[in-house]
Chain A
Amino acid sequence: MNVATLKPQPIYELHGISKTYDQGANEIHAVRDVDLTIDEGEFLVVVGPSGSGKTTLLQLLGGLDRPTAGEIRFEGRDMARLKDGELSDLRLRTLGFIFQQFNLIPTLTAAQNVEVALAPRKLSAHARHERARWLLESVGLATRAHHVPSKLSGGEQQRVAIARALANEPRVLLADEPNGNLDSTTGEEIIQLLMSLSAERRQTIVVITHDTAIAARAQRQLRMRDGELLPADHEAVAFLGTS
Chain B
Amino acid sequence: MKVGDTITLGKKKFTVIGLATTPLGGQASDIYVKLSQLQALSGRAGRVNTVYVRAKSSQQVGALARHITQTFTGSSVTTAKDLADRVSGSLVDAKNLTNKLGTALEIVGLLAAFLIASLLTLASVTKRIRELGTLKALGWRQWRVVRQVTGESLLQGLLGGALGALVGIAGAALVTAFAPTLKATVAQAAPLAFGPFGQGAVNAGSTAVKLDAPVSLGLIALAVALALVGGLVSGAVGGLRAARLRPADALRHID
Contact = CB atoms under 8 A, between A and B. Distances in A.
Interface of B: 130-131, 134-142, 144, 244, 246-249, 251
A24 interface: no
A103 B139 contact: no
Contact of A88 (B131, B134, B136, B249): B136
Given A103-B134, A105-B134, A120-B144, A93 B246 contact: no
A84 interface: yes
Interface stretch (A62-70, A151-159, A183-191): A62-70
A65 B134 CA distance: 13
Given A64-B251, A65-B248, A168 B139 contact: yes
A105 B148 CA distance: 13
Contacts of B135: 116
A59 B136 CA distance: 13
A64 B139 contact: no
Nearest to B148: A119
Given A66-B246, A92-B138, A103 B144 contact: no
A110 interface: no
B134 A64 contact: no
A88 B140 contact: yes
24 contacts: A62-B137, A64-B136, A64-B246, A65-B246, A65-B248, A65-B249, A66-B246, A84-B244, A88-B136, A88-B141, A91-B138, A91-B139, A92-B138, A92-B139, A92-B140, A99-B251, A103-B131, A103-B134, A103-B137, A103-B251, A117-B138, A120-B140, A120-B141, A164-B138
Contacts of A119: 140, 144
A43 interface: no
Interface in A51-68: 56, 59, 62, 64-66
A85 B140 CA distance: 8
A88 B251 contact: no
Contacts of A90: 139
Given A88-B141, A117-B139, 13 more contacts: A59-B247, A62-B137, A64-B136, A64-B137, A65-B249, A66-B246, A97-B138, A103-B130, A103-B251, A105-B131, A116-B135, A117-B138, A119-B140
Interface of A: 56, 59, 62, 64-66, 84-85, 88-93, 95, 97, 99, 103, 105, 116-117, 119-120, 164, 168
Nearest to A103: B134
Contacts of A59: 247-248
A65 B246 CA distance: 6
Contacts, number: 61
A168 B144 CA distance: 17
A120 B249 CA distance: 22
Contacts of A64: 136-137, 246-248, 251
A97 B138 CA distance: 7
B139 A84 contact: no
Contacts of A62: 137, 247
A3 B139 CA distance: 35
A65 B136 CA distance: 12
Contacts of B138: 91-92, 97, 116-117, 164
A92 B134 CA distance: 12
Select the residue from B130, B131, B244, B247 with max chain A CB neighbours within 10 A: B247
Contacts of B136: 64, 88, 91
Contacts of A103: 130-131, 134, 137, 251
Nearest to B144: A120
A201 to B, nearest CB: 18
A28 to B, nearest CB: 13
Given A59-B248, A64-B247, A64-B251, A97 B142 contact: no
Given A64-B246, A64-B247, A65-B246, A93 B134 contact: no
Nearest to A106: B131
A91 B142 CA distance: 13
Contacts of A116: 135, 138
A89 B138 CA distance: 9
Contact of B139 (A56, A65, A93, A99): A93
Contacts of A164: 138
A131 B13 CA distance: 120
Contacts of A168: 139
A93 B141 CA distance: 12
* 8 closest cross-chain pairs (CB), A and B: A92-B139, A65-B248, A64-B247, A91-B139, A64-B248, A59-B248, A88-B141, A103-B134
